[in-house]
């Protein structure tokens, strides 16, 4: 399936920032004296769980949809997604008034399926394997002629996600570090490009879904991967372009346990009064797990989404 050339720069992120003006929320940055004390650092939480559709994915999806020509837009858009990207793309397509077709694995969280459906997209369920998702997507594109908008390995997506980093640095201009979750790597790659020569940027990842860590430390992108983490948004492997950017610019990938993720979710709820999904909580979990890395530093943490079932 043909895709656009995978190139992206800081200039593309600045263009995306202008393109998205008025279409998205500028999410708040929250503080907690209690969490600062616990971490031994100054923490600044960028609350993307308050973004449209409940996650940062709205940034990349809307940037991609608004980048389509009129002729392309008339054909609509399609993707495969376990949740947040699918909902974001469905919302962005509805905003432009074009059709969206979302392939969803049958084991996707119910709350995320609901989030996709409420924006009027066609939902196509399939088995929860990557080959099944790709086959179902190919059939949808062949049937509809829709434009495939990848979840993360796409220059338009990376540029859109990078705008969260720009906003964070504008709100807190003297950060020492930024920590983002890493799944497919679109947000981490976009943040790395957005900061240029600014703060050090780390990715945070579950031990039970450690493909980014293994890829980063070995220099070879891991493609065979069987994640078993509660952080469903981080179960995918790194995209090719994202890996290239992360490998050359990232300060490191920090691993956290399932228990640490759960504890961080509870702390964010108790001290910030914010409901976040497990994928968001890996950032705080990482800062707390590695005090020698972050002691007495000013740290931006991007909370990526809040779409989780109540059972979590």
Q: Which of 57, 67, 81, 215 is catalytic?
A: 57
Rounded Cα distance between 17 and 24, Å, is: 10
CA 295 – CA 36 distance, rounded (Å): 10
82 noted as active-site residue: yes
Sign of CA dihedral 235, 240, 245, 247: positive
Is the Cβ–Cβ distance between 258 and 12 less than 8 Å?
no
Half-sphere exposure (CA, 13 Å, Cβ side) for 144? 24
- Kindly name the residue from 55, 82, 155, 279 that is annotated as catalytic: 82
The C-alpha atoms of residue 236 and residue 11 are separated, in whole angstroms, by 27
Whole-number Å distance between alpha carbons of 123 and 105: 10
Q: How many CB atoms lie within 10 A of CB 290?
A: 17
Show which residues are catalytic. 57, 82
């Amino acid at each position: 399936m043909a895709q656009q050339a995978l190139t992206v720069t800081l200039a593309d992120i600045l263009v995306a920032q202008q393109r998205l003006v008025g279409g998205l929320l500028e999410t708040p940055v929250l503080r907690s004296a209690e969490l600062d004390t616990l971490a031994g650092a100054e923490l600044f939480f960028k609350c993307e769980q308050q973004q449209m559709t409940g996650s940062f994915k709205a940034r990349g999806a809307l940037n991609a949809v608004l980048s389509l020509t009129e002729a392309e837009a008339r054909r609509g858009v399609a993707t495969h997604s376990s949740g947040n990207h699918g909902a974001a793309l469905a919302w962005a397509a509805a905003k432009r008034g074009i059709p969206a077709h979302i392939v969803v694995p049958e084991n996707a969280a119910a709350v995320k399926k609901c989030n996709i459906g409420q924006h009027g997209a066609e939902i196509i369920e399939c088995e929860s394997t990557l080959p099944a998702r790709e086959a179902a997507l190919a059939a949808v594109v062949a049937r509809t002629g829709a434009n495939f908008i990848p979840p993360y390995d796409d220059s338009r997506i990376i540029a859109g996600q990078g705008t969260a980093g720009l906003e964070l640095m504008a709100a807190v201009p003297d950060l020492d570090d930024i920590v983002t979750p890493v799944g497919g790597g679109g947000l981490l790659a976009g943040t790395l490009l957005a900061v240029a020569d600014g703060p050090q940027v780390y990715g945070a990842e579950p031990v039970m879904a450690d493909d980014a860590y293994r890829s980063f430390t070995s220099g070879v992108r891991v493609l065979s991967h069987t994640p078993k983490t509660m952080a469903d948004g981080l179960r995918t492997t790194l995209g090719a372009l994202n890996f290239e950017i992360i490998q050359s610019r990232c300060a490191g990938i920090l691993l956290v346990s399932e228990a640490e993720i759960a504890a961080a979710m509870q702390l964010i709820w108790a001290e910030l009064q914010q409901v976040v999904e497990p994928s968001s909580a890996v950032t705080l979990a990482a800062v707390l797990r590695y005090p020698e890395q972050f002691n007495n530093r000013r740290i931006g943490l991007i909370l990526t989404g809040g779409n989780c079932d109540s059972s979590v």
